[in-house]
Amino acid sequence: MTSRHVVVRRIDRAEPAVIDALGTLGAATVHEALGRRGFAGPLLRPIQQGTRLAGSAVTVRCQPGDNLMIHAAVEVCKAGDVLVVTNTAPSSHGMFGELLATSLMARGVRALVIDAGVRDTAELRAMGFAVWSQYVSCEGTVKANAGSVNVPVLLAAQTVHPGDVVCADDDGVVVVPRREAAAALEQARQRVAREEATRARL
């Protein structure tokens, strides 16, 4: 993990059709298809229910209690992305709220995954902006310290590279390495087919 403060504006992404297809299959199925890899842990929970999606990771590394780099990341996001925000040390601050969600939605960003807290949760749910976070917190932040955008980050026990595919639903968050996305999709489809055959027999 680099310690330099950088903002990488261009990243490689998986094929949109592959990403969208993974998003329909569910985190548990994708996790199993990856050989039980990629789960970002039980602490990341959705603030909404019934949402299932996938998108390309735009990664952010922040200082605890400082959301400056989230604002910087908004400018490099594209339609279909998922913003993945991490901190250099544990943080429960409410680093994200309705105004940032409005900016991301205007760019077609599908969701936020953050290892800290969010606020304005009623507004976020009403807007239909999906969030997976460790905390809900009204504790505010500053905008004083540089971090990095689109560098490898550590989300729980998972390393997330820019452009990896993030799959998320009520069961949690799974990270699929970008170069494995097509293979993971094929394996996941085969798993679904096997389960359907078993269900029919039962």
* pLDDT given at position 46: 98
Unique residue bearing structure tokens 């990403």:
19
Helix count (H) and strand count (E) of the chain? Answer: 6, 10
> Please, is 42 exposed, middle or buried when counting C-beta atoms within 10 Å of its C-beta (0-12, 13-18, 19+)?
exposed
Residue 176 β-bridge partners:
165
* pLDDT given at position 201: 81
Directed axis angle between helix 16-25 and helix 181-201, to 10°?
Answer: 30
Q: What is the pLDDT along the chain (202 residues), one digit of tens a residue?
A: 545 789 999 999 999 999 999 999 999 999 999 999 999 999 999 999 999 999 999 999 999 999 999 999 999 999 999 999 999 999 999 999 999 999 999 999 999 999 999 999 999 999 999 999 999 999 999 999 999 999 999 998 899 999 999 999 999 999 999 999 999 999 999 988 888 888 888 7
* pLDDT given at position 6: 92
Task: Using alpha carbons only, give the angle 114, 28, 137 rounded to the nearest 5 degrees.
Answer: 25
How many whole angstroms separate alpha carbon 21 and alpha carbon 86?
26
Give the pair of three-digit tokens for residue 118: 């969010």
How many whole angstroms separate alpha carbon 86 and alpha carbon 60?
6
How many whole angstroms separate alpha carbon 111 and alpha carbon 82?
5
Give the pair of three-digit tokens for residue 112: 């936020």
Could you please report the per-residue DSSP string of 59-93? EEEE-TTB-HHHHHHHTT--TTEEEEEEESS----
Neighbours of 62 (CB within 10 A): 30
* pLDDT given at position 3: 57
Q: What is the pTM of this model?
A: 0.94
How many whole angstroms separate alpha carbon 202 and alpha carbon 196?
10
